[in-house]
Chain A
Amino acid sequence: MAGIPEFLVLRLLADREMYGYEIARAIKIATQEALSLGEGVLYPALHAMEARGLLRSRSAQVEGRVRVYYGLTARGRTRLARLTKDWRRLSLGVESLLGSADHG
């Protein structure tokens, strides 16, 4: 399961900028609540990814609340491409294993 939150965040932010609450909501919807992690722990992950140069952030005041919007950097896109490739390979492997188990 390691790396899945990072992968999800990168994938979600590939389409558009989002702030923390939006990301948490999008993860909840996308995973059909399969990932039930405290939403607060999203922030250490976002901050670490920003420190590693995968994300950039900007603050904006929206409806009286200061929101920090996150977006992908070029390095973030490269990382997403690599993670997607790794995930597909892993997924195929697991599918293949499950398929052979079902037929055996």
Chain B
Amino acid sequence: MDERRMASLREALLRIGLAPSRVRRALREIQTHDRDLFDAAIARGASDSQARLEADERLGSDELLIARYAALPELRAWSRRWPALWFTLMPLLCYLVLGTATMLILVFATEGLSDRLHHVELARSTTRGIDLSAQVLFLGVYPWLVATAFGVLAYRRQVSLKWPVVAICVVSVLASLINVSVVLTGTRSLAGEPGELVAGIGFSPESLPLQLLRTVVVAGLALGAVWLVTRRAPRGETVQR
């Protein structure tokens, strides 16, 4: 089987929703089978071209093979069996898990280092800088990262982009509604003793224009990143690596 036929078969199998790992395995088995058929024909005295013809004939058409795989939903990737669920709910879940996990790590790290942190005198500007960085991370970087990752994954898995676009919008809206504050107290004039971490997550629907702006920025950046990927990498190409 030549590389072109293999590439075309790979594309077709991915398009019908087979998991990339399943496609790799199927192609490997079919290619080995093809070589066995070819070698057997050569061993019987056939010429190269005769052996190729015989192997192709016995292996059957790619169309039939693709149709057989297409008729087996149990072999499809989870993301292709339930694309709406996978590409809209999973990004939300991932964003929440990522945010919560980071917050927990911060809390535990601050608790573990409380003895040392109590002796650290932080300038007010540093404290504000930490707070601002946390806000950028939680409300900008994380939603952008999650939304973009699922958008790119959907593109590579050849899933309709409508689901990740919905997810990008939902994650961006959620991120704009959340209010995160991480204050590592550095002086006694702030909320607590030096070295204490005051962190909070909450909704603040009162500042609507700012939230809309944040939604647009995050969604725009995520959609832009996905668009860039769709321009630079043909569908399904990178899934094989």
Chain A: residues with CB nearer than 8 A to chain B? Answer: 19-21, 24, 37-41, 43-45, 47-48, 51-52, 65-68
A44-B69, A45-B68 known; A38-B33 Cβ under 8 A: no
Q: Is B43 an interface position by the 8 A CB rule?
A: no
Which residue of A38, A65, A68 contacts B65 across the interface (Cβ within 8 Å)? A38
A68's closest neighbor in chain B, by CB? B29
A21-B36, A21-B37, A68-B25 known; A40-B30 Cβ under 8 A: yes
Q: Is B75 an interface position by the 8 A CB rule?
A: yes
B interface secondary structure, majority:
helix
Which residue of B28, B29, B33, B60 contacts A37 across the interface (Cβ within 8 Å)? B60
Q: Name the A residues within 8 Å of B35 (CB-CB).
A: 65
Which residue of A39, A47, A48, A52 contacts B33 across the interface (Cβ within 8 Å)? A39
Determine if B75 and A44 form an interchain contact, defined as CB atoms under 8 angstroms apart: yes
Q: Name the A residues within 8 Å of B62 (CB-CB).
A: 40
Which residue of A20, A51, A65 contacts B74 across the interface (Cβ within 8 Å)? A51
- Interface size (B, Cβ < 8 Å)? 24
Determine if B58 and A39 form an interchain contact, defined as CB atoms under 8 angstroms apart: yes
A interface secondary structure, majority:
helix
Q: Is B22 an interface position by the 8 A CB rule?
A: yes
A44-B65, A47-B26, A67-B32 known; A39-B60 Cβ under 8 A: yes
CA–CA, A20 and B36, complex, Å: 10
Q: Name the B residues within 8 Å of A43 (CB-CB).
A: 26, 29-30, 33, 65
Determine if A38 and B28 form an interchain contact, defined as CB atoms under 8 angstroms apart: no
Which residue of A20, A44, A51, A68 contacts B68 across the interface (Cβ within 8 Å)? A44
CA–CA, A45 and B65, complex, Å: 10
Question: 17 more A-B contacts (CB under 8 A) besides A40-B62, A40-B64?
Answer: A21-B32, A38-B58, A38-B60, A38-B61, A38-B64, A38-B65, A39-B60, A43-B26, A43-B30, A45-B68, A47-B72, A51-B72, A51-B74, A51-B75, A52-B74, A65-B36, A66-B28
